[in-house]
A and B are shown apart, each in its own frame.
Chain A
């Protein structure tokens, strides 16, 4: 085969593998049958409707929302000053710190989850919610640092000096002229962090416990017991939520510049 034929074919296959499952899930969730199946049997919206009636889905959705919003916010509270320090000062171990901060992107979540459970949560007797919160903060932190650093590096540092010479304190200059100019970077980091946290499975798998679990974990355990299409329906709804968020972000912020 010549590259002319070959590369579009590869592209097509890649897209099919990436997008295909999404269509299968959407189709399966609209099934009229009683079990999760593809191709779907008949058509109905009853499984989509059922999602909203399952009590545990509602609870775990609240947990996931709390973790995604709270954990990401916390990661930004830590990540913004860290990025600022990394980009403005020549720190003695700046590069090392940068690498360590990005480790959770590289290390498999399952290892992070196990390590957190075995060496931090159990020995120190953390409660489940706090453990999940800290884990999600740690998971989002690298994305926060990465995205915020990118927008800080695009911002000249002399505007801070200009602000100081006009009477502002150093800290005042940060809030008055740095923060407003990296606002869209911070928003982008927030969205990326939110989506990452919300869809996170392996770490949450280890840390979830009785009464407190995230939505993806809850879906897994629901499926072990009840094999009906409502899980597909929920998945499809969540996928649409993520797509919607990213679409809005791209539309208003030019999200892809930061990621």
Chain B
């Protein structure tokens, strides 16, 4: 993995007619990286991928890959693979021929096609299914054919649009490992789209969180999970107590609350996960409104002058009954400091 960007998007703006779907997007990806696009529906993940693949011409901006400007290079000459969410297998061709499709177009010798397709099918565990038609495969198997079909082309970048979303939980886990293995084995630069933060956190080297056609945050899974920089990202990764900061004070339901620490100037807010809230001591008072037990922990919902607060404690500790008055603290040292509160 070198540090020079392998794929870079510069000031990329993508539009469907007059509707701008992605605006001024900048992103660079290193060779061999496994990157996740994470974000809510409609934020422009598919749109961005389609433009990298060449299926959508940017309204403005530049895409370069492996040192060459490919903004105007047509989709069939880019060496970019795309695994569609719908698999898009060719229904009239056997599994073998689906995988061989691109190789035949390259006019490779028959023996080499045979070798590469066989190896490709083996790597996704589908050697026995070479003669079947796509309609005779399960969803997960179809997906693996689609993966093999792209992989045998040895693309410079492999894009996967929600590769796991159509699978049941067990297969999803299996495919997750599969993807990771294929990526590590071949070292292909890979971008995948997901709605699921768990998937992004466990698979990706870096996560790109998108919102409304722009990037909210780029970072390692640790960055995203522990140090979200905006309210949206914090909320997305499970920080449930989020407060804006204005004039050095925490903005709460019943008015601003002074914070003891002096804050960096660009602090727009603070966010705490439920388990970061200290119960039983601290400057604030609240009433337990609800409690739920989830095996290893107990979650509490507190009515407080700050608004509703979600807290979590080890299930080993004594339970607080609904109606109980509790003191609690929101320790600034543990909080995620937000730079944007849009």
Nearest chain A CB to B200 CB, angstrom units: 24
Given A166-B105, A166-B153, A177–B76 Cβ distance below 8 Å? no
Are B88 and A159 closer than 8 Å at their CB atoms? yes
| Cα(A172)–Cα(B89), bound, Å | 16
Quick check: B92 and A180 within 8 Å, CB to CB? yes
Residues A168 and B88 in contact, CB atoms below 8 Å apart: no
Asked if A208 is at the interface (CB within 8 A of a chain B CB), the reply is: no
Query: Cβ of B80 < 8 Å from any Cβ of A?
Result: yes
User: A167 contacts the other chain (Cβ, under 8 Å)?
Assistant: yes
Q: Is B170 an interface residue (CB 8 A)?
A: no
Interface residue A162 (Cβ < 8 Å from any Cβ of B): yes
Number of interface residues of B (CB under 8 A): 23
Tell me which of A159, A161, A162 has the highest count of chain B C-beta atoms within 10 A of its own C-beta.
A162
**CB-based nearest B residue for A172:** B105
Residue B336 is within 8 A (CB to CB) of chain A in the complex: no
Residue of A nearest to B91 (CB): A181
Q: Tell me if A251 counts as interface (CB < 8 A to partner B).
A: no
Cβ contacts under 8 Å, B89 to chain A: 159, 162
Q: A165-B53, A165-B75, A167-B106 are in contact. Are A158 and B92 (CB under 8 A)?
A: no
A170 to chain B, nearest CB (A): 8
Verify A164–B76 contact, CB threshold 8 A. Answer: yes
Known: A156-B88, A158-B86, A159-B90. A166 touches B102 (CB 8 A): yes
A169 at the binding interface (Cβ < 8 Å): yes
B84 on the interface (CB 8 Å rule)?
Answer: yes
A165:B80 contact, CB within 8 angstroms: yes
B116 to chain A, nearest CB (A): 13
Task: Give the distance to chain B from A155, nearest Cβ to Cβ, in Å.
Answer: 8
Distance in Å: Cβ of A159 to nearest Cβ of chain B:
5
Q: A162-B90, A177-B92 are in contact. List 6 more A-B contacts (CB 8 A).
A: A159-B90, A161-B82, A161-B88, A165-B76, A166-B76, A180-B92
Closest 8 CB pairs of A and B: A166-B102, A162-B88, A158-B88, A167-B105, A180-B92, A164-B75, A159-B88, A167-B76
Q: Can you sample 22 A-B contacts with CB below 8 Å?
A: A156-B86, A158-B84, A159-B88, A161-B55, A162-B89, A162-B90, A162-B149, A163-B101, A165-B80, A165-B150, A166-B76, A166-B105, A166-B153, A167-B76, A167-B77, A167-B102, A167-B105, A167-B106, A167-B153, A168-B105, A177-B92, A181-B90
Binding site for B on A (CB under 8 A): 156, 158-159, 161-169, 172, 176-177, 180-181
